[in-house]
Chain A
């Protein structure tokens, strides 16, 4: 039974790949999406959901389409085996513009919704970092860096976590034995562990794929996956889609293009001109998430405390925050 499913998945996937090449992130022509959608609509598959998604065209234009048109690829199921290969000819990168972040936490929420996570399970975490005593702290969205020299992959005894050709590091929770060695090896604290069973894990309506991390499994590790399922559909990852400030750029190094949904820029130019850096560069992990330094910030730090009490509490140990509290600013 299981075999049959996989087989079907296999043939479906070939069909899907054809679509994928046409629509995948930077190779899409505006017309091709529209054509695809038109074709689907004719067949009567899609019903408008009212939810609008933003897609990127190669000349940097964003087209807005109804979510239901894109998401419902029944053939988008990628088996754990297939998920090890990666999307051909891609080298995905992310750029996070710290100058624009105001701790709106929309990326966190978008990600949690997309990956069926609970309130406290965060693939994307917002840290408050202060580089030195004189500098003002800044909001620091941090997910998995999808390192090119990933310590987590090196130490995994079963190959449950792996690096793909398209730069993405994934975890296969059907292979993971829960030894947590990868958690202790990751210098970016990117990995979270499923300590107990969660009712959401029982929802098997969607077959498990390491590309979505859904459904989760008790006793295994999970983390940010760069949303390859969306990438295959030519969509931005959940976090980049949900950020109202356009802080998170995502793109392909091979094409040298990144986009936050509103603007599309040359990746190399952006990093070069805005002094892009990688977190903990000195550790030699070679991350694929780049940061643009928090200079000339668009928002006051205090604005970031316009969140719920629980989140506010998280930063109470940062000396600067204690100072702000004393002054009555937050």
Chain B
């Protein structure tokens, strides 16, 4: 079988998903749209009434928007990091999951920064950031890092997509795919014909981009952590915050990828490509990261507790009383349970690894919450106020609605991308690194020819 017919075969395999939309997925999509609409209404309220509709007040001026921002942006950075590594080292098992990782990277990088914008009191003055930039401010560094990262990730994602667009362009004619999509394939394939020179060149560029993306991710993580650690606040002003954020970010990123892998495998019927092996390897990586992350978390809190400066003690007191359960969930359950599960070989199955990942994700969200909010509730000068909402933070429905809207937007975009391109990169399958078993023979034959 030559490579052309192989391409056709692959296309045939993935095409039905691109052609039709099942009833269930229509309902699912309208459900997501409904959540987003509620979010848009909440956004409208916040814009017209001001941030009084959120739970944020003086003292706790950043709420769950900031938490979502950290989580999503960290997931994105780790997506970039991981996919960069997958490419750079030609990891053999990258085939099936590379595209998923890349899509996660770009989507979370698109949605994440929206949350930081929601934190801003004057969105109408966003351009002041560029009109009157002050390079001393860590926010400016963060903006530069995020924008650079968005651009780099888009280029990177696009590069990895080109060969697939070419395949789609060449084979979509006989199918009843909407005209505009066909046109889209043609434009996006930018005349890629999969000749040897083209292929080599693309490989080279992708490889260079993958290193750039890794470096950018590290820079971006660091700058994000500095937003907190460069202030004087208890619980934030920590020298290990940058590496702590990198490890925590990778941890959440890997967990997120595993959960997505699970869902994609199930709902897109890709069992053939996303296999137990992926979850096994993912589980081991998650285990290592969980231990590292647990280690960082422990050092961070232990040194604060042991030296017990008064201001740190106030913070820890709040964590151990008011936030007792959250603290247990984030830093014991969220770390030790995944370690406990993944430590045993027999638990490294698809379901168990996914369960461990879900626990890890919930844990790390709460961990971020415990980094942002209790610190703001225990300032140097004691809060002496009678207004409860000014003393303790509680997210309002507007913030919660917008958080869910972000998740819905993520799922919706993921689904739509899955409608336009196959979620498993066809060109990698053709590259023959780990083709499904039945194809392997053919490819080997092709190579020997």
Q: Which of B98-140 contact A (CB under 8 A)?
A: 119-122, 125-126, 128-129, 131-134, 136-140
Verify if A180 is at the interface (C-beta below 8 Å from B).
yes
Are A184 and B62 within 8 A (Cβ)? Answer: yes
Which residue of B has the minimal Cβ distance to A155? B137
Q: Among A155, A178, A189, which residue has its beta carbon within 8 angstroms of that of B230?
A: A155
Are B58 and A157 within 8 A (Cβ)? Answer: no
With contact pairs A184-B61, A189-B59 given, residues A196 and B233 touching in the complex (Cβ less than 8 Å): no
Complex interface: chain A residues within 8 A of B122 (CB) = 176-178, 219-220
Mark each residue of chain A from 25 to 38: 1 if its CB lies under 8 Å from any CB of chain B, else 0.
Answer: 00000000000000
Verify if A246 is at the interface (C-beta below 8 Å from B).
no
Are B49 and A177 within 8 A (Cβ)? Answer: no
Are A196 and B49 within 8 A (Cβ)? Answer: yes
Verify if A188 is at the interface (C-beta below 8 Å from B).
yes
A87 to chain B, nearest CB (A): 24
Q: Among A177, A183, A218, which residue has its beta carbon within 8 angstroms of that of B61?
A: A183
Mark each residue of chain A from 118 to 148: 1 if its CB lies under 8 Å from any CB of chain B, else 0.
Answer: 0010000101110000000000001000000
Complex interface: chain A residues within 8 A of B230 (CB) = 155
A95 to chain B, nearest CB (A): 19
Complex interface: chain A residues within 8 A of B139 (CB) = 155, 157, 179, 181
A147 to chain B, nearest CB (A): 11
**Interface stretch among B20-28, B332-340, B373-381?**
B373-381
Verify if B222 is at the interface (C-beta below 8 Å from A).
no
Q: Which of B169-200 contact A (CB under 8 A)?
A: none
Are A151 and B232 within 8 A (Cβ)? Answer: yes
**Docked CA distance A107–B134 (Å):** 35
With contact pairs A184-B376, A188-B380, A189-B379 given, residues A155 and B138 touching in the complex (Cβ less than 8 Å): yes
Which residue of A has the minimal Cβ distance to B381? A189
Q: Among B52, B62, B121, B231, which residue has its beta carbon within 8 angstroms of that of A177?
A: B121
**Interface stretch among A8-16, A39-47, A256-264, A308-316?**
A308-316
Are B134 and A156 within 8 A (Cβ)? Answer: yes
Complex interface: chain B residues within 8 A of A279 (CB) = 381
Interface size in chain A (residues, C-beta < 8 A): 48
**Docked CA distance A99–B336 (Å):** 53
Verify if A265 is at the interface (C-beta below 8 Å from B).
no
Verify if B57 is at the interface (C-beta below 8 Å from A).
yes
Are A157 and B380 within 8 A (Cβ)? Answer: no
Complex interface: chain B residues within 8 A of A317 (CB) = 384
Verify if B386 is at the interface (C-beta below 8 Å from A).
yes
Complex interface: chain B residues within 8 A of A193 (CB) = 51, 58, 61, 121
A330 to chain B, nearest CB (A): 15
Verify if A73 is at the interface (C-beta below 8 Å from B).
no
Verify if B436 is at the interface (C-beta below 8 Å from A).
no
Q: Among B50, B57, B231, B380, which residue has its beta carbon within 8 angstroms of that of A155?
A: B231
Which residue of B has the minimal Cβ distance to A176? B122
Mark each residue of chain B from 208 to 231: 1 if its CB lies under 8 Å from any CB of chain A, else 0.
Answer: 000000000000000000010011
Complex interface: chain B residues within 8 A of A280 (CB) = 380
**Docked CA distance A25–B191 (Å):** 75
| Sample of 18 further A-B pairs with CB below 8 A, known A195-B50, A220-B121 | A128-B384, A142-B381, A154-B137, A155-B231, A158-B131, A160-B132, A177-B129, A178-B125, A179-B120, A183-B61, A187-B233, A189-B383, A194-B121, A195-B51, A280-B380, A283-B380, A285-B232, A317-B384
13 pairs from A and B in contact (CB 8 Å cutoff): A154-B136, A155-B231, A157-B129, A177-B120, A177-B128, A178-B122, A180-B61, A180-B62, A181-B137, A187-B232, A187-B233, A195-B57, A310-B386
In the A-B complex, the 5 residue pairs with the smallest Cβ-Cβ separation, listed nearest first, are A178-B121, A219-B121, A196-B52, A157-B139, A157-B137
